[in-house]
Amino acid sequence: MYKYHCLNPIAAVGLDLFSEDYQKTAELKDAEAVLVRSASMHDLALPDSVAAVARAGAGVNNIPLEECAKKGIVVFNTPGANANGVKELVFAGMFYASRDIVGGIDWCLENQNDENIAKTAEKQKKNFAGTEISGKKLGVIGLGAIGVLVANAATHLGMEVYGYDPYISVTAAWNLSRSVKHISNVDEIYRECDYITIHVPLLPATKKMISAEAIALMKPEAIVLNFSRDLLVDEEAMVDALSAGRIKRYVSDFPNPTTVGAKGCIVTPHLGASTAESEDNCAIMAVREIRDYLENGNIMHSVNFPDCNMAGCMTEGRLGILHKNAKGMLSRFTTILGDAGINIDGMANKSKGDFAYALFDVDACVSEEVLEKLRAVDGVLRVRKVK
């Protein structure tokens, strides 16, 4: 019986995919798998029983990835599961910023008791006039699951789309409309585009990548949209530029004291993935990832270990070994198995940065004595007897 614990409410349509071999536990200390959305795990002491964490969403800043890796805990996310929900909100933000819809709504509420509001509105509406997005230039920074959807949809709305992603995946490249102009220097987007939307993960290299220098390159009528992470933008510099009229609007899905109420800022309360469909999709993907790892040893969409898939096990046993990415590890494992008279029928070994994962299909049941020898190898983080 596998036990799992939810740190946040997880959509029932996902949890229902757990078989009768799984039991939900209210106690983290008893869990082998953890499902999480936005709860911070940085101060949590994860018990040794935990083998996997699945984030029902894309961003994993709330999870201590390095610490989990060192304990042999595989962390999954659900890339693309909430992409359509975020894409739609990006366009909502674009429309709100282009035409002063928020100002118009506020005016209507402020004048709701005016019996002649319809007549007055005809005189006031010019104060809320805006521009159309058709024919404008959109720069999409980051062409992952969300960025590709945004870029493709924008072409159908008559926009001229520039895309920037030096690390674009093969899958994303295939899915990207040929109408999107691939840009090799992001400064071209800053200089040329009327709308700029950012869709990259928050990493040391991307923190505040939209800097004061980048903002200085932008058009005075430029609109910047941030539905990824607030720290991707130097928001102090952004607010200063808005106040000075050097840029038109900043739309963010991450409320904080710097931006809320600031001139030119439109801020929403982290609504990007807050749709029923997105929450369902994320929950379904997270549960499937957990099950495939616990039952088959396969890793798909991990953020701290390499993906590794050997489908279902058709042999007597399967072992998964999470280890440091060091020379000679694989030969040590095969030697221990060979000395125990265990034949290896299938094998995969993948690495990702400082960490690696080895998966073995074997022709005999692996004893506890052999497992302990594998665990004793310097650099081994965790050994799982999958079958």
Reported as a single tens digit per residue, the pLDDT across 22-59 is 999 999 999 999 999 989 999 999 999 999 999 998 88
Q: Quick one: tokens of 296?
A: 């088959």
pTM (predicted TM-score): 0.83
pLDDT at 242: 98
* Predicted pLDDT of residue 232: 97
pLDDT at position 343 is: 94
Give per-residue pLDDT as tens, 78-129.
999 999 999 999 999 999 999 999 999 999 999 999 999 999 999 999 999 9
Instruction: Flag whether pLDDT at 172 surpasses 90.
Output: no
The pLDDT value given to residue 352: 95
Two structure tokens written together for 267: 């801020």
Rounded CA-CA distance 101/95 in Å is 8
344-352 sheet: strands from edge to edge: 344-352, 355-362, 317-324, 380-385
Tokens standing for residue 124: 């006031």
pLDDT tens readout for residues 197-236: 999 988 899 999 999 999 999 999 999 999 999 999 999 9
pLDDT of residue 191: 97
pLDDT tens digit string along 177-189? 999 999 999 999 9
Mean pLDDT of 149-170: 95
How far is CA 222 from each of CA 62, 137, 214, 248, rounded to the nearest angstrom?
A: 31, 10, 12, 5
Cβ atoms of residues 73 and 61 within 8 Å: no
CB-CB contact of 228 with 200 (8 Å): yes
Mean pLDDT of the chain: 95
Best CA proximity match to 197, nearest among 245, 158, 144: 144
Strands 265-267, 223-226: pairing kind: unpaired
The CB-side HSE value for 384 (13 A sphere, CA atoms) comes to 25
Which residues are bridge partners to 249 per DSSP?
Answer: 223
The share of the chain scoring above pLDDT 90, in percent, equals 93
Cα–Cα distance for residue pair 90/225, rounded to 1 Å: 7
Is 147's pLDDT higher than 90? Answer: yes
DSSP helix/strand/coil, 120: helix
Q: Where are the beta strands (DSSP E) in the chain?
A: 2-6, 22-24, 33-36, 52-55, 74-76, 137-141, 160-164, 181-182, 195-198, 223-226, 249-252, 265-267, 317-324, 344-352, 355-362, 380-385
Q: What is the pLDDT of residue 171?
A: 83
Helix and strand numbers, DSSP H then E, in the chain: 13, 16
Residue 251 pLDDT greater than 90, yes or no:
yes
CB 246 within 8 A of CB 220: yes
Backbone angles phi, psi at 230, to 5 degrees: -65, -30
Cα Rg, the chain, nearest whole Å? 25
What length does the chain have?
Answer: 387
The pLDDT, as a whole number, for residue 12 is: 96
| pLDDT bucket at 167, cuts 50 / 70 / 90 | confident
Amino acid identity, residue 95? F
Among left, alpha and beta (phi > 0; psi -120 to 50; other), residue 303 is alpha
CA dihedral 93, 97, 98, 99 (to 10 degrees): 100
Q: How far apart are CA 372 and CA 121, in angstroms?
A: 78
Cα gap 196→108, rounded to integer Å: 30
CA distance 297 to 293: 4
